């Protein structure tokens, strides 16, 4: 591949998080009985007229504003004609020469150097239904998805590998979930991708003949399908053949693509303005309201966590992956800072607890941070108890487990179960002397140079105190006693 370069552009369909369809009142619920979510407009019956879903428009503008697109004040819908059994009207209502959003970019922040993928456009359109092909050669049609509102995000051909394509998809999914624009659930068809792939000699400015890969519904398959297509085209070109412009269907089970049809051009769809829908006009007031509703975006939040709290990039990347988790962290830090001036050190400790203890338990139960039994304020309270020496880090883990099971704050559990750490120097020293006197052989070994025996003595003291003695004090006192002459 050193002699060849891949050129990749993605067309990503994002289902907008609305309760009803783009041009009618039918529900968008997932998992309903086949063909239960239809109406005269969805079915294209005579006399049925479409009416635009205002919430869908708001979500589409939010997405465009978040990626820096230029929002058209006046756009329009067009009819895109093709004839499949799952397209009941014989055309799809989409946008063609006047898309809602133009330009913009998505920043990729993987493990390597950050880079930007430019966007060509974002436009609104309705989804088609679904054809279900049976084992006996029969095909069934389910029109529940027909009319579901979509945004199609079209990138410029700035992507150069399957890894970058998958990273682009992950960045988009993170963004739409942050915004609440979409659930981004690929298993439910809420995020789907078609990839346009071509190969050209390295250093060339001319594009090669492209193929379109359909039916890609996971990040792993995006990478696999594109890498497979790059390899297929490279082998053809190196063998002296030519690439045929076509649409290919990705077979994830077999790990190969198959020809589906010759690649259509825009004129094949016979676009023309939809006569049943007036031009779409976005007022300054409406645009300002939507733009003002944008939350702090993932990239800005990532930068803030690294800058303000000194978190590592890996920690910041994990904590900003989902908005619910990032909100949880911010609330925990805020609660911690109310009673401490060490916000940065508290933030690092909270980040560790969230990533180790909390995410492990949430992952085990398939929950997100918004439904965590341990509130952000309670977790901040637990970290404060460690910081002020009330409990040790080891006991804190046991307390956290009880907090997760009961929802109680740490303070209540510690008081009820008598878990406060023993910090009285005299009490610890008395127990330490008893341990030293009871183990003369180990004392002799320590004083003979086997200083690792200190761990044995620490363990004995902790055992006698039920793990409640302050570990730092135990180490200091034992070291002093064992190093004393005689």
Residue 88 near residue 129 (C-beta atoms within 8 A): yes
Taking the C-alpha atoms of residue 381 and residue 387, their distance in angstroms, rounded to an integer, is: 10
Q: What is the CA angle 335-337-338, rounded to 5?
A: 70
pLDDT more than 90, % of the chain: 72
Q: Which tokens go with 446?
A: 């320590």
Q: Where do the domains of the chain lie, and which CATH numbers do they carry?
A: 4-291 (no CATH), 298-416 (no CATH), 425-483 (1.10.10.410)
Taking Cα atoms as reference points, which of 417, 367, 366, 377 lies closest to residue 395? 417
Mean pLDDT of 182-194: 94
Q: What is the mean pLDDT of residues 242-264?
A: 86
**pLDDT tens track for 137-170:** 788 999 999 999 999 999 999 999 999 999 999 9
Q: Which of 150, 122, 10 is nearest to 65 (CA)?
A: 122
Tell me the pLDDT band of 11, cut-offs 50, 70 and 90.
very high
pLDDT in tens, 358-393: 999 999 999 999 999 999 999 999 999 998 888 888
Coil, strand, or helix at residue 139? strand
Q: What is the per-residue pLDDT for 343?
A: 62
pTM strictly above 0.75: yes
The pLDDT value given to residue 340: 65
Q: How many Cα neighbours within 13 Å face the side chain of 297?
A: 20
Question: If pLDDT is split at 50, 70 and 90, which confidence band does 308 have?
Answer: very high
Contact 18, 216 (CB under 8 A): no
Q: Using the predicted structure, report yes or no on whether residue 452 has a pLDDT greater than 60.
A: yes
3-class DSSP assignment, residue 146: coil
Per-residue confidence (pLDDT) for residue 100, from 0 to 100: 98
Residue 231 has pLDDT above 90, yes or no: yes
């Amino acid at each position: 591949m050193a002699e060849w370069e891949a050129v990749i552009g993605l067309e990503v369909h994002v289902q907008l998080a609305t309760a009803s369809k783009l041009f009618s009142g039918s529900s968008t619920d997932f998992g309903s009985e086949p063909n239960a979510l239809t109406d005269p407009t969805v079915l294209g019956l005579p006399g049925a007229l479409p009416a635009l879903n205002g919430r869908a428009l708001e979500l589409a503008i939010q997405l465009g504003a978040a990626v820096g697109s230029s929002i058209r004040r006046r756009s329009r819908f067009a009819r895109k004609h093709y004839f499949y059994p799952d397209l009941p009207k014989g055309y799809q209502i989409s946008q063609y020469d006047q898309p809602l959003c133009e330009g913009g970019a998505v920043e990729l922040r993987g493990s390597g150097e950050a880079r930007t993928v430019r966007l060509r456009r974002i436009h609104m359109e309705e989804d088609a239904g679904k054809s279900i092909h049976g084992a006996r050669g029969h095909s069934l049609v389910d029109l529940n998805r027909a009319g579901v509102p979509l945004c199609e995000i079209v990138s410029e051909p700035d992507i150069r590998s399957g890894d970058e394509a998958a990273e682009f998809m992950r960045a988009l999914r993170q963004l739409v979930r942050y915004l609440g624009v979409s659930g981004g659930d690929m298993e439910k068809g809420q995020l789907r991708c078609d990839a346009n792939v071509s190969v050209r000699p390295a250093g060339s400015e001319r594009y090669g003949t492209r193929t379109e890969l359909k039916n890609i519904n996971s990040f792993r398959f995006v990478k696999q399908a594109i890498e497979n297509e790059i390899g297929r085209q490279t082998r053809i070109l190196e063998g002296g053949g030519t690439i045929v412009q076509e649409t290919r269907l990705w077979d994830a089970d077999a790990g190969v693509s198959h020809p589906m049809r010759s690649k259509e051009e825009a004129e094949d769809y016979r676009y023309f303005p939809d006569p049943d829908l007036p031009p779409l006009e976005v007022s300054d007031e409406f645009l300002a309201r939507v733009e003002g509703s944008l939350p702090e975006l993932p990239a800005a939040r990532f930068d803030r966590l690294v800058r303000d709290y000194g978190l590592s990039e890996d920690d910041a990347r994990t904590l900003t992956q989902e908005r619910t988790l990032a909100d949880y962290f911010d609330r925990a830090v805020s609660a911690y800072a109310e009673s401490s001036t060490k916000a940065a050190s508290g933030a690092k400790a909270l980040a560790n607890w969230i990533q180790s203890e909390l995410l492990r338990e949430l992952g085990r139960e398939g929950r997100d941070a918004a439904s965590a039994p341990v509130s952000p304020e309670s977790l901040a309270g637990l970290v404060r108890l460690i910081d002020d020496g009330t409990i040790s880090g080891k006991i804190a883990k046991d307390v956290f487990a009880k907090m997760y099971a009961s929802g109680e704050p740490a303070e209540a559990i510690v008081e009820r179960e008598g878990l406060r750490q023993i910090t009285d120097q005299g009490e610890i020293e008395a127990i330490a002397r008893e341990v030293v006197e009871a183990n003369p052989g180990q004392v002799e070994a320590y004083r003979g140079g086997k200083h690792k025996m200190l761990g044995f003595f620490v363990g004995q003291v902790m055992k006698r105190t039920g793990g409640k003695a302050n570990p730092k004090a135990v180490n200091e006192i034992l070291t002093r006693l064992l190093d004393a002459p005689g």
